[in-house]
C-alpha cells in the first residue's frame, strides 16, 4: 500500500494542528508521501508583501519566523531544535533575499511565483522535524528537488505529468521503498528553467494528485477541515451532508465550478491512473470521509451537490458578422483566453456571444476584443455574477429536471442570466446575480437534498 497524504492550511495552521497532523501520519505504517500547504494565512501575507502599502518587509519576516517557532515549540525535541532553527533561518533569509530582488527588478512577474511558494517551504520543514521528533525517518523536500515539472502562465501553471513521473520514479519512489516519510511542498512545480510556477490558489490538492500519479499511489488523501466532500459548502448551507462516495466526474465538475474543498484540477491526474481520492477531516480522523473513484451508480438522485462560484462576469459581444464568419467565435474565444484566462461558460445566439470569465480578467479581455473592431458592434459587461453548478445523476436523461431546478431559482426571486446545459451528462450550470446566489443554493438544497 502506497499513499499520498495532503494536509491543507488549517491542518498545519498552528502547533496544535501540526501535532494532530503528525499523529495521523504516524498512525499508518504503509508507504506514505506527505504534501503540505503553507500554514493558514501565510500565502495571503506573502502576496500582500508583494503589493504596495503593506507592512515593512522585516515585519513580515519576523511574523513568519515567529509563527513557525510557535508551531515548533513543544513539538520539536531539544536535540533537533538547533538544526531546525538553523534551517528555518536559512529559508527565511532566502525569502528576504528574494523580496529584495523582487523590489529592485522591473520584471517582477519573474519572482512572484517563487515568493508565493515560500510558505510551503517553511511548513514542510517544520512538519518534517516534528515527525523526526516522533521517530519517523522524515525529510523535507521541495518541488524542485523531487522534480515536479510545470508549465503555463504565472500563477496558474499545470504539471507536465510524463516528465514529472519520470523524475519522481528516480527521486521519490526509492525513498518510499526505504520507508522514509518525505514532506513535500505543495502548490507549485518548476518550469523548464527551474523557476517556481504555482498551480493557482489552493493548488496543494493538485500537487498531491500529481505526486500520486507519479509514484502510482493506491490513494491520495486530502486532509482538510470538513468531514468530506459535502452536498454544498457547509459555510453556505449549515445542513450540508457529507457524501460517502462520488464518481470522479461529479467531483471534477463541482471542484471546477466552485467547490473549494478540492482545487479545480485535482481529479484529472488521479483519474488518469485510477488513484482513488479520499477527502478526510484532520479534526475528526475517525470519520468516514468521501471516497472519489470510478463509480457506476444505479440510484438516481436529482441533486447530489451544489457548488457556487462568485466573482464572475458575463461579457456579451454583439456582432452581426457571427452569422457569416463561422470561425469568428473561435477567434474571439482564443483572444479572450490568450493570457490563460479561464472561460467558465459560453452561450451563442444569432448575433451575440456571451462569455463567462473571472471579473479580474475583464479589463484585459475587453482590451483584446478591440482587435475585432471591424466585426464587433458592441461589448457589454455584466459584473457581479455567480455561477451555480448543480450535479446529479442523469441531468440529461430525466424529464423535467431543469424545470425543477429553475423553479427553485424563481422561488427566491433570482433571475437566470445564462444557462449552460447539455454539455455535461451530470451537471447543469447557470448564472445568477451575485447578490441572490447564496439564496438560490440554499433553496435548491432545501428542496432537493433536504436536511
Would you tell me which residues interact with ligand ASP (CB under 6 A)? 8-9, 37-38, 43, 119, 186-187, 201-204
| Cβ-proximal residue to ligand ADP, closest one | 8
- Does 21 bind ligand ADP (CB under 6 A)? Our answer is no
For residue 387, the cross-strand partners are 309, 431
- Does 120 bind ligand ADP (CB under 6 A)? Our answer is no
Contact yes or no for 134/22 (Cβ under 8 A): yes
Nearer to ligand ADP, 113 or 227 (CB): 227
Contact yes or no for 444/390 (Cβ under 8 A): yes
| Cβ-proximal residue to Mg ion, closest one | 202
Q: Which of 84, 187, 206, 229 binds ligand ADP (CB under 6 A)?
A: 229
The CA-based angle 246-148-161, given to 5 degrees, is 55
Q: Which of 305, 313, 319, 420 binds ligand ADP (CB under 6 A)?
A: 305
- Does 245 bind ligand ADP (CB under 6 A)? Our answer is no
By a kind-dependent CB cut-off of 5 to 8 A, residue 201 interacts, out of ligand ADP, ligand ASP, Mg ion, none, with ligand ASP
- Does 393 bind ligand ADP (CB under 6 A)? Our answer is no
Q: Which of 131, 139, 172, 226 binds ligand ADP (CB under 6 A)?
A: 226
- Minimum distance of ligand ASP from residue 138's CB (angstroms): 20
By a kind-dependent CB cut-off of 5 to 8 A, residue 203 interacts, out of Mg ion, ligand ASP, ligand ADP, none, with ligand ASP
* Other CB atoms within 10 Å distance of the CB of residue 64: 23
- Does 253 bind ligand ADP (CB under 6 A)? Our answer is no
- Does 95 bind ligand ADP (CB under 6 A)? Our answer is no
Contact yes or no for 220/228 (Cβ under 8 A): no
- Does 157 bind Mg ion (CB under 5 A)? Our answer is no
Residue length of the chain: 451
How far is 207 from 186, CA to CA, in rounded Å?
Answer: 5
- Does 186 bind Mg ion (CB under 5 A)? Our answer is no
Question: Which range in 65-73, 192-200, 224-232, 372-380 contacts ligand ADP by CB under 6 A?
Answer: 224-232
Question: Which range in 2-10, 49-57, 134-142, 365-373 contacts Mg ion by CB under 5 A?
Answer: 2-10
Place of cell 517553511: 122
- Minimum distance of ligand ASP from residue 223's CB (angstroms): 12
- Does 10 bind ligand ADP (CB under 6 A)? Our answer is yes
- Does 202 bind Mg ion (CB under 5 A)? Our answer is yes
Binding mask 4-33 for Mg ion (x = CB under 5 A): ----x-------------------------
- Minimum distance of ligand ASP from residue 139's CB (angstroms): 21
Classify each residue of 344-363 as buried b or exposed e, where b means 16 or more C-beta atoms within 10 Å of its C-beta: bbbbeeeeebbbbbbeebbe
- Minimum distance of ligand ADP from residue 53's CB (angstroms): 27
Cβ partners under 8 Å of residue 77, min gap 6: 133
Half-sphere exposure in the Cβ direction for 406 (13 Å, CA): 15
Place of cell 500529481: 210
How far is 378 from 352, CA to CA, in rounded Å?
Answer: 10
- Does 8 bind ligand ADP (CB under 6 A)? Our answer is yes
- Minimum distance of ligand ASP from residue 327's CB (angstroms): 38
Question: Which range in 133-141, 173-181, 221-229, 317-325 contacts ligand ADP by CB under 6 A?
Answer: 221-229
Site of interaction with ligand ADP (CB under 6 A): 8-11, 37, 202, 224-226, 229-230, 232-235, 259-261, 305
Site of interaction with Mg ion (CB under 5 A): 8, 202
Amino acid at each position: 500500500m502506497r499513499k499520498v497524504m495532503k494536509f491543507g492550511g488549517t491542518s498545519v495552521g498552528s502547533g496544535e494542528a501540526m501535532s494532530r497532523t503528525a499523529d495521523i501520519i504516524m498512525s499508518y505504517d504503509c508507504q506514505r508521501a506527505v504534501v503540505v500547504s503553507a500554514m493558514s494565512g501565510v500565502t495571503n501575507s506573502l502576496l500582500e508583501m508583494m503589493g504596495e502599502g503593506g507592512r515593512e518587509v522585516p515585519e513580515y519576516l519576523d511574523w513568519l519566523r515567529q509563527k513557525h517557532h510557535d508551531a515548533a515549540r513543544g513539538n520539536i525535541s531539544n536535540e533537533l531544535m538547533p538544526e531546525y532553527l538553523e534551517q528555518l533561518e536559512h529559508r527565511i533569509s532566502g525569502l528576504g533575499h528574494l523580496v529584495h530582488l523582487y523590489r529592485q527588478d522591473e520584471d517582477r512577474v519573474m519572482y512572484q511565483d517563487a515568493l508565493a511558494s515560500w510558505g510551503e517551504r517553511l511548513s514542510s520543514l517544520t512538519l518534517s522535524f516534528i515527525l523526526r521528533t516522533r521517530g519517523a525517518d522524515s525529510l523535507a523536500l521541495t518541488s524542485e528537488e523531487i522534480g515536479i515539472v510545470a508549465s503555463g502562465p504565472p500563477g496558474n501553471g499545470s504539471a507536465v505529468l510524463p516528465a514529472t513521473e519520470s523524475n519522481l520514479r528516480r527521486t521519490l519512489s526509492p525513498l518510499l521503498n526505504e520507508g522514509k516519510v518525505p514532506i513535500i511542498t505543495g502548490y507549485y512545480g518548476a518550469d523548464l528553467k527551474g523557476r517556481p510556477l504555482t498551480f493557482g490558489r489552493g493548488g496543494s490538492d493538485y500537487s498531491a494528485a500529481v505526486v500520486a500519479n507519479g509514484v502510482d499511489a493506491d490513494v491520495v488523501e486530502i486532509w482538510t477541515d470538513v468531514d468530506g466532500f459535502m452536498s454544498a459548502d457547509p459555510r453556505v448551507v449549515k445542513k450540508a451532508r457529507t457524501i460517502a462516495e462520488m464518481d470522479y466526474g461529479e467531483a471534477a465538475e463541482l471542484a471546477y465550478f466552485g467547490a473549494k474543498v478540492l482545487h479545480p484540477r485535482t481529479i484529472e491526474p488521479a483519474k488518469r491512473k485510477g488513484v482513488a481520492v479520499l477527502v478526510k477531516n484532520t479534526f475528526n480522523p475517525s470519520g468516514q470521509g468521501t471516497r472519489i473513484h470510478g463509480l457506476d451508480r444505479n440510484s438516481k438522485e436529482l441533486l447530489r451537490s451544489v457548488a457556487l462560484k462568485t466573482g464572475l462576469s458575463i461579457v456579451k459581444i454583439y456582432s452581426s458578422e457571427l452569422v457569416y464568419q463561422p470561425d469568428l467565435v473561435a477567434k474571439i474565444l482564443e483572444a479572450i483566453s490568450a493570457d490563460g484566462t479561464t472561460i467558465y461558460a459560453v452561450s451563442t445566439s444569432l448575433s451575440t456571444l456571451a462569455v463567462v470569465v473571472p471579473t479580474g480578467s475583464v479589463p484585459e479581455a475587453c482590451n483584446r476584443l478591440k482587435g475585432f473592431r471591424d466585426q464587433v458592434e458592441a461589448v457589454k459587461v455584466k459584473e457581479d455574477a455567480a455561477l451555480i453548478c448543480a450535479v446529479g445523476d442523469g441531468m440529461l436523461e430525466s424529464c423535467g429536471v431543469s424545470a425543477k431546478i429553475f423553479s427553485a431559482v424563481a422561488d427566491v426571486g433570482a433571475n437566470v442570466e445564462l444557462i449552460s446545459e447539455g454539455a455535461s451528462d451530470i451537471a447543469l450550470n447557470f448564472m445568477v446575480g451575485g447578490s441572490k446566489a447564496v439564496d438560490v443554493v440554499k433553496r435548491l438544497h432545501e428542496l432537493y437534498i433536504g436536511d
